[in-house]
Amino acid sequence: MTADQPAPELVTDLNHQNGVISDEWRQEVEIPSQNWRRADNQAGSNFDYLEGEAGGFFASVEVAGFERRAYLKPGKSRENQHRLNIAQQKARAACEKIASDLAYELGLPVPPAVLSQRSDPQDQWCEEEVVLSLVMYPRQWSWAQVKGLHGGGGEASPKDAALEKAFAECTPMLAFDTWIGQRDHEYTRHNIVWGYEPGNLKRSRLVFLDFAYSLGSSGGEDFDGEWDEGGWQPVEAAGFPSLIEDCIDRDELEMAIARIEDLPEREIRTIVDRIPTNFLPPWRAENIKEGLLGRREELRSSLSGILSN
């Protein structure tokens, strides 16, 4: 850098940093495997990282000049070719990326995500196609703990005020989860987290994680192609934890539905079509596009009961 060149802007505000990374990963589809490595800090991963339905671990990833922590999945060996084939049909990584990109367009609290290839799968039955989801906040509390933190019968505290604001801001996610057929947020212990920057509790947010069971993929042992041949119907309101449901704002819900309805069809198609075929088989890409476009036509009527309450 010469003397007359301006110094690069020093970005210290976490929200701004998150915004820069969100913009970059919305543009990117896939990053090289050299851009990440397994992180020293594995706080919050399963003790045995191969446990869980998908398996995964935390990675250290360099993005936009920052070294940040992201959750990488799936990481689990599928044990044989048959199970690996099923896993590839489920296309967990692609579903996460599509959900994240759609959420970005709608300004929703879903972490930015980017695809990558594993160069170090543990065995031949491990998916090489993975997704990295950014860890958004230095402090995060799992939903299982948030439930216990709320209220308590005493005077309203700054914590309760922050939480209730965070609950109220979740209304648009009900429309989003309903649209994309997400069913893994109702009885969750850790797929919703409450995150914030220390010293800035007022700007806390609930962040919604894990979209592997959405877009026509279920959690069963087999891939049942739920969105095949019009199987995306019927469109039913997504389940939400009751604490959040109690804070649903009808006007906010109405606006969220309108934003989804206003998303250009071309944008939706592009978000799906740009996923490489090794991450998402073409027939599934077609099903997902058909499902997304069909379901949004019925989104308003599927939520009419809540809108009219």
Partner 1 sequence: MSGEIEYGVVSFCPDLTDPAARSMPVAVIGLLEGKSSENGEGDGKIFMITRADAENLLPIEDDPLARAILNDLPDFLGEQVREGLRIAGSSGLISWIEHSLRNSLHISNIQCSDVDMAVDDHIEFMNRMAETISEVFDEEMPEDPFADGLGSRTPQTGVPNMQLWDPASLENKGSARSGVPH
Residues forming contacts to partner 1 in the complex (CB under 8 A) are 14, 39-41, 43-47, 58-61, 67-69, 135-142, 144-145, 148-149, 158-159, 189-190, 193, 196, 198-199, 201
Provide the minimum distance between the beta carbon of 42 and partner 1 in the complex, in angstroms, as a whole number: 8
Provide the minimum distance between the beta carbon of 138 and partner 1 in the complex, in angstroms, as a whole number: 4
* 26 vs 159, beta carbon nearer partner 1: 159
Q: Rounded to 5 degrees, what are φ and ψ at 69?
A: -100, 135
Structure tokens given for 213 = 């069971």
What one-character-per-residue DSSP string does 225-261 give? -TTGGGTT-S--PPP--HHHHTT--HHHHHHHHHHHH
* 91 vs 193, beta carbon nearer partner 1: 193
Amino acid present at 127: E
CB 208 within 8 A of CB 244: no
* 42 vs 218, beta carbon nearer partner 1: 42
What's the start-to-end Cα distance of the chain, in Å?
Answer: 61
H/E element, 193? strand 192-196
Provide the minimum distance between the beta carbon of 41 and partner 1 in the complex, in angstroms, as a whole number: 5
* 39 vs 303, beta carbon nearer partner 1: 39
Residue 280 and residue 301: Cα distance in Å, rounded?
Answer: 30
Provide the minimum distance between the beta carbon of 73 and partner 1 in the complex, in angstroms, as a whole number: 13
* Other Cβ atoms closer than 10 A to 154: 7
Q: Is it true that the peptide bond before 234 is cis, omega within 30 degrees of 0?
A: yes
Residue 164 and residue 255: Cα distance in Å, rounded?
Answer: 20
Provide the minimum distance between the beta carbon of 162 and partner 1 in the complex, in angstroms, as a whole number: 8
Provide the minimum distance between the beta carbon of 43 and partner 1 in the complex, in angstroms, as a whole number: 4
Provide the minimum distance between the beta carbon of 147 and partner 1 in the complex, in angstroms, as a whole number: 9
With tokens 């010293």, the residue in question is: 199
Residue 136 and residue 77: Cα distance in Å, rounded?
Answer: 27
Structure tokens given for 241 = 């934890």
* 32 vs 158, beta carbon nearer partner 1: 158
* 136 vs 238, beta carbon nearer partner 1: 136
- Exposure on the CB side of residue 2, measured as CA atoms within 13 A: 2
* 199 vs 264, beta carbon nearer partner 1: 199
